[in-house]
Amino acid sequence: MTACFSFTESRDRCYRYSFSQAGFRSSTTDLGDGTIMHCWIPKAHDETKRTVVLIHGIGANAMWQWNYFAQRLLPRFNVYVPDLLFFGDSYTTRPERSESFQARCVMGLMEAHGVRRMSVAGISYGGFVGYSMAAQFKERVERMVLCCAGVCLEAEDMDRGLFKVKSVHEATGILFPQTPAKLRQLLHLAFYNPPKGVPSCLYSEYILVMCTEYIQERKELVQALHKDRKLSDLPKITQPTLIIWGEHDQIFPLELAHRLKSHLGDNAQLVIIKKAGHAVNVEKPKEMYRHLKSFLVDPLPPSLEKGNHRNGCKTD
């Protein structure tokens, strides 16, 4: 019997081909103690270029979230695009689930590739990991980009109704959908203009390919983010930071963007992208890339370089 065509698997193969053609190669590194990290790395690391690490969120693996951006940044940077633990081909047998452990694993991966200094960009959960990298490895992370990453959330925010969900259990049921109805719910939360008219069979096929491995471990990652979280415990990173947020984000509401800007003060600038939800990288990739490229490529304004930015908030 001939196997049915899988749109998701076909798209995954297209991304792999696209990454390879753009100048990346797939690399797997054993960090020891049961931890394996997969990463898309430059086929040739150019010592004259700066390095950028792009960290994906919970929605999919590295290729799916960074394909548009990685290829465009590669001519100017050494671009590394890792799969976080329990995504893609990365996993661990260790029990740690914190973003600080993920951060140490990403940095261990970069050390294995001989990279000492880098800028980091993280989407959503990837921003939590990137933020932890910047906090733990101050001398190695030069600039930080946080896209819709609610690192300033507090455990009590859910009780006071900031989020669309009422519990972490409800959140993980949506973030890691196991039915077409749950996937539709996720898309309506993640997008300002969610896709319409998609047949349930395509949603079921996507779930089968992308949402069946390491589900319990992924839920534990979210639980670890939320448990006993307090803003007072969050260190202030000192690197120049660009905060990008969708105006209509329903997963991490815009209040968290302003809270983060206030927490970081003059070291950060905030860009709010209009008519976009949480999935800014999908809905508004050109706008997001423009700000990302400008921040990473152009010399920093003296005000940001010296931590003396006046307000740092603009809309797009």
Residue 24 lies in a domain: yes
Residue 187 lies in a domain: no
- Please state the domain count of the chain: 1
Instruction: State the DSSP string of 209-231.
Output: HHSSTTHHHHHHHHHHHHTT--G
Q: Which residues of the chain have pLDDT under 50?
A: 1-3, 307-311
Residue 187 structure tokens: 């898309």
Task: Give pLDDT, residue 293.
Answer: 96
Task: Give pLDDT, residue 307.
Answer: 46
Residue 177 lies in a domain: no
Task: Give the three-state DSSP class for 112.
Answer: helix
Task: Give pLDDT, residue 44.
Answer: 94
Residue 179 lies in a domain: no
Task: Give pLDDT, residue 60.
Answer: 83
Residue 164 lies in a domain: no
Chain centroid to CA 210? 17
| Residue whose C-alpha is closest to residue 240's, from 149, 311, 303, 290 | 303
Residue with tokens 């329903």: 250
Task: Give pLDDT, residue 59.
Answer: 84
Task: Give pLDDT, residue 309.
Answer: 40
Query: What range does the domain containing 41 cover?
Result: 8-154+231-315
Task: Give pLDDT, residue 1.
Answer: 37
Q: Domain containing 45 — which CATH number?
A: 3.40.50.1820
Residue 273 lies in a domain: yes
Residue 162 lies in a domain: no
- What is the pTM assigned to this prediction? 0.93
Task: Give pLDDT, residue 7.
Answer: 86
